[in-house]
Every structure is written in C-alpha cells, then in structure tokens.
Chain A
Amino acid sequence: MKILFVDDERDVEDLFRQKFRKEIKSGHLELAFAFSGQEALDLLNSEDPPKFVYVFSDINMPGMSGLELLEEIKSRFPAIQVSMISAYGDQENYDKAMSSGAKGFFTKPVDFEKLKLEIAALTSGK
C-alpha cells in the first residue's frame, strides 16, 4: 500500500520513515514524500492510475497550499484518500478541509498512534 506525505519540511521524510520502519520493512507500507503541492501532483500524475491510496498533506506550504492540493487530488483522483496534517488546528482550516473531501484532520505535533490506527484501519478495511 502506497502512501504519500506532502510537507515543505524535508525532515518529515526521516521522521516518518523511521516511524513506519517496521511496516516498511514488512512490506505493508510504501512511503513517498513530496515537498510541495506541485511536486505531489507531479508524482501522482507520473502513474496512471496512481498506486497511492492515501495522501497526507501539510496545509501551510509556499506555493500551492495543502487545501488547494486536496481539491486538486479530489477532482483528479477521487479514489485517493486525503488527510490534512497542520500546525493550525483551527476550525476554519478544519471546516475547509472536511468540506473539500478530506478524510481526516491531524494536528502537529502528530500523534503517531492515531496516525498508525488510521493507516491500520485503511489496510484492514481493504
């Protein structure tokens, strides 16, 4: 199962790869990282249909924001699940995200247990 993380903070990659090391090792998860909305879209467009089933995106990014990316993905690849991970856990962002079709809304610092449960639910559900 292929998951895409979008964040302009590059260290996010190191963090998540270590966090999901076991899952990656076991082959349950395949992680990909993009550092801007545009990069994420480029990546998703590189395969047809994309193998990614889940996209986790930051909201606050230069250029295309996470919410814009959400709309783009939802319009192009409605099958792909998208959840937001934001430092700004305010109602406005939440409402915007949920109305745009986000599956979940996670606040930073990320609660990895919840995140793992979300991913686990996804795999088990499949």
Chain B
Amino acid sequence: MKHSIGDLRCMKQAIAVFAICAYLLPYLPGHSQTAESLKADMDRLERVPGYASDTAYLNKGNELGFILAESSPDSAIRFLDIQLQLCREANYKTGEAEALKIYGNALQNKGDFIGSIEYYTSALAIAKGLEGEVLVPGILNNIGLVNYNLGNYAEALNTFYEAIKGADQTKNSNVKAAALNNIALIYFELDKLDDAKEKYREMLAIYQVVGNQGRVILAYNNIGDVELKQKRPMEALKNLKIAYQSAMELESPEFIEMTSRTLADIYSELDSTEKAEQLYLQSISMSQANGYGVPYAHSLIGLAGLYYKNGKAEEALDLGKQGLAQAETMAQPMLMRNANELLSRIYEDQGNFEEALKSFQLFKSYNDSINTSHSQRLTASLEAEYEFSKRAMEYERASLRQRWVIFSACAGLVAFLIVLFVEFRNKKNLDKAYHALQEKTNEIASKNEALEKALSQLKAAQAQLIQAEKMASLGELTAGIAHEIQNPLNFVTNFSELSTELIQEIQQERAKKPEEQDPQLLDEILSDIQVNMGKIAQHGKRADSIVKGMLEHSRASTGEKVQTDVKNLINECLRLSFHGMRARDKTFSADFETELQADLPQVNLVAQDISRLLLNLCNNAFYACANPDFRRENPEVKPKVKVTAKIEKDGKSKEWLKISVTDNGPGIPQSIIGKIFQPFFTTKPAGHGTGLGLSLSYDIAKAHGGELDVKSVLGEFTTFTVFLPV
C-alpha cells in the first residue's frame, strides 16, 4: 500500500516543547516525575510558610500542569488558573510565562486553537521581556504547531523558522530539533521530500549530540519514511533497521510499534510479503493493546492491501472494513480514502458492483477533499514560502550587513596586513634587487678592471710586438747597415790615408831644390787633398746619417713631425733594404732604380715612421723579386725594384706626396690581397716574418692622414703606393 499525505500524523509526531529554565521535560514517554510524585512534592513544599512565592514550588506546579494538559486538559485548565494567579502574585515572570504556555497546550489539546494562540501570545509577550528570552523559541514552536494543526502551513513554517532563529541565539538545541522536525513534517506533506529529508537529518544530528535515543529513533523512522515515498526502499530499509534495533533496545512499545509499522510498509513495497505481514500484525496487536488509534487503523488497512495484492480477497475485505471503521473513529480522511479505494476494488473483483460503487464514491469524495485542502495548503504555503523567503532574505541581508561590517573590518585589517606584507616584501625585494644591483655593479667594476688590465696588457703586448717587429726588421737590416756604414768608413779611411800620402809627397817635393820643384804638381796635390777632405767629410756624414737612421728606427716613435728630405730618405731606405737582402742571401741579386721628382720639396713627416714604412715596402719588394720559384720559372725576368716619388694634386687641389714601390715579382694572388694589411698575416715561412710589417705600415700611413694602396698583376708586378699629405 502506498503512503499518502493524510496518514502521516499517525506515524510522525509533531513535537511540542516544554522547558523550565534549561531543563527539558520531554513530551514523549520517559517523564522524570509522575503527576503523583509531583503532587507529593508540592504538598511537602506547602507546609513551608510563604510557599506560594517559592519559585521551586511554582516550577513544580508548572510541571504538574504540563502533565495534566496532556492527560486531562479540563483539569489542567482549572489547575493552571490558580498556578497563574500564584505566579503573578509572586511576581515570578518566568513561571507566569511558562504557565501561560502550558495553558495554551491544554487549550490546543482540547481543540481550542484560537484560545491556545491567545495564551501562547501572552506567554510570548512576557518571555520577550525576560532577560535572554530563553522561553521565546519554545513558545514560538508551539504557536507553529497550532498553525500546523489549523492547516495554516505558511504561518506555521514562518513561526518554526523564527523558533529556530531564537533557539540558535539561546543555544537551545532541543527546541531547534523540535522545530526542525515540525518543518520537515510540513515539507513532507507538501511533497518537498528532499527538503524534508534534509531537515530530518539536521534534527538527527542534534539528537545524536544531545543523546536523546527516542528522538534519534524518530528521526531515523521519519527519514526512512521519506525515502520510501521517494521510491528508495533499500535506503529506507537501512535507516529503519537502525531505528527498529534501537527501539528494541529502548524497550519502548510506542517506538517498537512505530518502527515495525514503517518497516511493514517498506517490506510491502519490496514485496517481502511474509516479513510485511508479520510486522503489520505486530503493529496491530501493539496498537490494540496500547490504544494507539491511528496506527491501528493504518496497519489494518496496510495489511488488507498486502492480502489483496496476494490474492487473499476475503481476509483483505475483512481487514479493510475493520481499518475503515477505525479510520472513521479516528476521523482520518486519508486513511478513509485509502480504505475505500481498497474496498471498492475488492467488491468489484467479487462482482458486488453496488458496494463497489458506494466505496468508490466515498473514495472519490475523500480524495477530492484531500486534494482540495492539499492544493489550498500548497497555495498558502507557496505564498508563505515567498513571504518567508523574503523575510529570510531580509534576515540574511541584515546579518549579511552585520557580517559585511565585520568582514569589511577584517578585510580592511587583512588588506592592511597585506599592504604591510607587500611593503615589507617590496622593501625586501628592493633591498635584494639593490644588493643584486650592487653585486652586479661590483662585478661589472671588477670585470671592467679586468678588461682594462687585459686591454693594457694587450696594449703592452702590441707595443712589444711593434718593438719586436722593429727589432726584427732592424736585424734584417743589420747586414745592410753594416755595408752602408762600412763603405763610407772605407772611403774616410782611404781618403785620409791618401791625403797623408799626398802631404808626404808635397814635403818630398819641397825638399827638392827650388829649380827642380814642380809647382804644377804641388798645385795638383793640394787640389787633390782638398777634394779628399771634402770626400772624407761627405762619407763621414753619410755614415752618421745611417747610424742616426738606425737609432731612430729602433727607438720608439716620438711621433714628432719634422721637415724631411724625402729623396734622401728614399735612397737610404732603398739601399739599406737592398744591402740587407744582399747580405742575408748571397745568391740574391736584384736591380733597383729611383724615379724621384727633381724638385721634390721637404715634407713635414715623422721620418722615423715613414722610413720604417718605406723599409718595409722595399724589403717586401726585394723579397718578392728574389722569390726562387719565380726566378726559376722566369729566368728572362731581371728582378728589379723601382721607387718613384712625386707631388700630386687631387680633385680638391690638395697636394699629396705619392711614393710608389714596384717590384716585378710574382704578384699577389687576388685571394689574399684583402688580407695583407691584417696583423700577423704573412706568406713567409715560419720564423721569417712577424706578419706585422704591412699592418704597421698601413697604420703609419693612416696616422699621417694618408693612405696605403696596393695594386698587383699576377706574374707581372706589385705596386705599393703611399699617399702622404704635404
């Protein structure tokens, strides 16, 4: 049999809350004190004078009132009238509020919902005036229950949520759990099964913490019931097994009956007929014994449905009739609807169409009424939910605003801390960057230093190389120099000796008798002596010039420009070079000639450097001429070096001294002509050249603001031309 909304009240229980200070008196079985023992306590307290204003006495009165309200509402009302009076006289506000609430309970139990609301409202007014408002949530929960009983779900939900809010503030978990249960009940009836289950779970969690076993069983039972309605019987079974087990442990007939009834519904759904039958029978017998009217009707109808499903029409009809009667007694429209539906089918199967029709008409009418009220409630609750959600939103917004303020403050603080942190980090990073930069700077500085050192070393090396080149070329020239000095020295020696001889001759002549003397001879001799003296002086100067040139050549350049006789410079260099080559290579022979402009002026230049340049060019020219391979292949070519010098004007009328050194050697291949001015480039065998000659010559020309060019035709000639500004 399928569960529907109406039969819920029999298995789910709305929970009212009764609280005295922090002490909870459960509504369900398990009272700490019975009515009798309470009365006895009160009698004992009445012996003390002024007992009427003793709060302990008044609290006992309220406890008794609560029990009476449940068991005998009319007597409870009479008792509570006095209790209220006593509380007011004693000016015991808490007691008064409690009494008013219990009064409301009694009226509710009597079915006087309007009256109960009045008392609850009065209780609420007083409770709100009390410090901590501890009684407020419980009262709200009870007001919610009244609304629920009136079918006023919207108002009920509102009130239950208010109760929860209050319970949260007063940390009253029992009230909160009760309100959650009641909200879940409404959601269940409104078919909002997921929401219902969620609320039951919340409730379960609270009762587990509190340790209220009965309520834990109720929660499991109700969750299972929801799952059954969600068509998840297996999950429902799991929860119900826990609930049933727990109920057996608690030995509470009410919970055993409740859980066996729900289990029976589940097994019926699962077609476990035997288990379902057994459990229904257990529920029926326990309900009968304990007078649980609604559960009794529920299980009768449930078992009837089970029998009908299994083809036991007779038994089903019998049980169905009993169930219907019980449901009518208990005024349960849903159960009556279900019973009539079942009966109409059974009658129809039996061919009893008259009864079948009657039952069906009843079924239809209950169904319609249920659906109408259901849809009305649904509409109302939807409106309520809208209203509630609006309120909830306001509440949320308010708390959000509050949270926002806190959050803003926190955020501000966090932001400030972040800023501080970032600042700190930045500072640290900056410091790091600064240190890194400093390190880099130091590194660069030290690298710079190293580079400068390397540069100065290079410069020193270069200077040494230049000097080495000078010395090397000087070495090459030594033989030439020797020859060039030897020759004038020989002349000096020879002419001076000769002059001495001539003087002796004069003396001999003069020793003769005057008539034998030859005056012509004397004149001749004297004239010769004079010429010889001139020759001595001339060759002395020649040697001097060569020595000076050599010294200049070996000295580091002063870079000082002086007016220089270019003709002399060229002749000296050419002869030095020639004799140098000749001295080193005995087989060497070459001709040389000069073609120097007759009126070549003196030119302002660093003679030392230019002589080095010219010596280099001449040495190269002779070296090229003497190339033994070329000589062998071209025996008809007489090796010759020609040096020309003249003044030329360029397009801008600027005057240039142009000196060309040409040899008729093998020429320079095109492939290397671009490299010949590079330092260390040489075609000479290792140890025969530094490779710096032309490179330095080029630098010298450039340093003079001039140029050094080369032209060459393979097998014919090579001409180096230096242009120097005049």
Contact = CB atoms under 8 A, between A and B. Distances in A.
Interface of A: 9, 11, 14-15, 18-19, 60, 62-65, 68, 87-88, 90, 92-93, 96, 108-110, 112
B579 A15 contact: no
B79 interface: no
B491 interface: yes
Chain A facing B: main interface SS: loop
15 contacts: A11-B539, A14-B535, A18-B502, A60-B579, A62-B578, A62-B593, A63-B638, A64-B589, A87-B482, A87-B483, A93-B586, A109-B489, A109-B494, A110-B494, A112-B494
A67 B572 CA distance: 24
Given A63-B638, A68-B589, A110-B494, 10 more contacts: A14-B531, A18-B498, A60-B579, A60-B582, A62-B591, A63-B592, A87-B483, A87-B486, A88-B583, A92-B586
A18 B491 CA distance: 13
Interface in B392-425: none
Contacts of B281: none
Chain B facing A: main interface SS: helix
A15 B495 contact: yes
Contact of B491 (A9, A62, A65): A9
Contacts of B638: 63
Given A9-B487, A92-B586, A15 B494 contact: yes
A109 B578 CA distance: 20
B532 interface: yes
B528 interface: yes
A49 B436 CA distance: 99
B532 to A, nearest CB: 7
A62 B590 contact: yes
Contact of A15 (B482, B486, B498): B498
A109 B483 CA distance: 11
A110 B497 CA distance: 12
Interface string B572-607: 000000110011001001111100000000000000
Contacts of B495: 11, 15
Interface string B477-496: 00000110011011101110
A109 B502 CA distance: 19
B589 A18 contact: no
Interface residues of B, number: 29
B486 A18 contact: no
A126 to B, nearest CB: 27
Interface string B497-524: 0100010000000000000000000000
Contacts of A65: 582, 589
B493 A109 contact: yes
Contacts of B586: 90, 92-93, 96
B490 A108 contact: yes
B143 to A, nearest CB: 142
A100 to B, nearest CB: 13
Nearest to B492: A109
Contacts of A15: 491, 494-495, 498
Contacts of A109: 489-490, 493-494
A19 B498 contact: yes
B487 A87 contact: yes
Contacts of A68: 589
Contacts of B491: 9, 11, 15
Contacts of A18: 498, 502, 528, 532
Given A18-B502, A18-B528, A93-B586, A63 B591 contact: yes
Q: Which 3 A-B pairs have the closest CB atoms?
A: A63-B591, A109-B490, A65-B589
A89 B618 CA distance: 25
A11 B592 contact: no
Contacts of B532: 14, 18
A112 B491 CA distance: 13
Contacts of A62: 578, 590-593
Contacts of A112: 494
